[in-house]
Amino acid sequence: MNTPLLLNAPKFNSRDAARAVKQQAGLMIEAVSAGTLSSLLNLSGMIVTSYACEKQDKQEILHIFCEHKHDVAICPDCSTVTQAVHERTERCVRHLDIWGKRTYVHFAARRFDCEPCAKSFMEELSWLESQRRESMAYELHVYNQCRHSDIAAVAEQEGLHPETVRLLFGRWAKRTVQQQKRGRVHCLGIDELSLHKGHKDFVMVLSDLERHCVIAVLEERSQEALKGWLNDLSEGERKAIRVVTMDMWGPYRGVIKSTLPWAEIVADRFHVTKHLNDAITKIRCALQNKANPTDYELLKGTRWILVRHREELTPAEEAKLQSVLAAFPTLRKAYLLKERFRILSDKLKDRKQAERFLRAWVYEAQASGLSQLLKFVKTLENWWEEFLNYFNEGFTSAVVEGLNNAIRGIIRRAFGYHVFETFRLHVMVEQGNLPTPSPPI
């Protein structure tokens, strides 16, 4: 019988033993009975009859022996209740650890005869899927462990083979992805990243900029892959996409214009700024290559000082910057243009005003005569409309870059991936805003 010690007691989260003592006033206390262990194990339809402990290689093992609570089963085909047991097979499955002990549940798997169907069937258990060697609770435990750790580490911690862990994670991850309700995306982010540093095996990452999550990972960075993904969407899902942000890679723009002609394409501001920073770096390198030993030493170590935001520099870095700019008028001209471009991108929020100021900036950059800046201006003019679209609503790929950094962390944690599907599932599970996995009905 459940007996509350104190009615209407406040609820507390027991963070330590002292608080737990105070919290017990609101608990429903149950007396220990013969069925207590069965209830705590949460093995529906089973009764714990005995247990045994042993040690294997310094690991304590707990064996739980169970019997079936009912002597009948229901035929899955005709729903007939039957007691005719056709066969019993002793089974042992891994369950959640108890008190730090690796736990196994022993029971008899039963096959029943169904007279109306004239055939036999295996009894279904709510806590164990067919032909599995781990309970569903334990499989979910392994899956959740893999969400924030690599497979090898989980395998070592749980005492399982890495392939077993990979298969368990894959099963539940695929199930979770399939259960995902694909909401309509209004602001789509497109970017790519490399699975291995220094290699050209790029994958494409598609993100929802409003929900801040990954919605798809495509194995190829190609027009065909992007077009195929868009064509798989329903007409309503395609119509819902009104903004697409991307880096300055022409093939993406071509696909969006042909497949989603109504969508506004935004050339990501951060990628545009990166192109300008690359131009500044090339100007510095050209000067350094021709410099005498004194000027070479002055330019040495200024790469990041020149491309970082000026307000982020330390006093020592600011002093170094002032010395370099005073010694190299060409670099000073390029640096001031770079800073002015950044301030325009940061401060302006109106497209018409931005276009007016940018045209004046382009004129100054062209008047500088610096070939590196002229090349950047040509790229900017090629993406002129798409870059100006940024000033309409301020959409950037900042969300995409944040997700990509998280994905790179996943790659580093696993020391790289050789199987794309495993990589895709890990990304979707950790960055896809997926629902809590649930067993099949």
Distance CA 26, CA 9 (A): 5
| Bigger pLDDT: 270 vs 337 | 337
| Least confident stretch, 4-8, 44-48, 72-76, 366-370 | 4-8
What one-letter code names the amino acid at 11?
K
> Quick check: 36 pLDDT over 80?
no
Of 37-46, 161-170, 182-191, 337-346, minimum mean pLDDT range: 37-46
The pLDDT assigned to 176 comes to: 87
Residue 273 pLDDT more than 80?
A: yes
What average pLDDT does the segment 16-30 reach?
A: 57
Tell me, rounded to whole angstroms, the distance of Cα 146 from its chain centroid.
Answer: 12
- pLDDT at residue number 374: 95
Distance CA 393, CA 415 (A): 39
Query: What is the token pair recorded at 397?
Result: 């790929």
pLDDT tier at 6, thresholds 50, 70, 90? very low
pLDDT band at 30 (very low <50, low <70, confident <90, very high): low
Question: For the segment 344-392, what is each residue's pLDDT rounded down to a tens digit?
Answer: 888 888 899 999 999 999 999 999 999 999 999 999 999 999 999 998 8
Q: Quote the pLDDT of residue 417.
A: 78
pLDDT value, residue 17: 54
* Mean pLDDT across the chain: 86
Answer yes or no: is pLDDT of 7 > 50. Answer: no
Quick one: pLDDT band at residue 12, thresholds 50, 70, 90? Answer: very low
> Model confidence at 249, in pLDDT bands (50, 70, 90)?
confident
Q: Output the six-digit token pair for 301.
A: 């170590």
Residues 143-171 have pLDDT tens digits of: 999 988 888 899 999 989 999 999 999 99
Instruction: For residues 164 and 170, give the distance between their C-alpha atoms in angstroms, rounded to a whole number.
Output: 10
Give which of 386, 362, 346 is closest to 248, Cα–Cα: 386
DSSP 93: E
Return all residues near 329 (Cβ < 8 A) that are at least 6 apart: none
The pair of structure tokens assigned to 5 is: 């010690």
Torsion sign across C-alpha atoms 389, 391, 392, 396 = positive
Q: What confidence score (pLDDT) does residue 1 get?
A: 43
CB-based contact 114:121 (threshold 8 Å): yes
Q: What is the DSSP letter of 115?
A: T
Beta strands (DSSP E) in 212-319 are 213-218, 243-246, 264-267
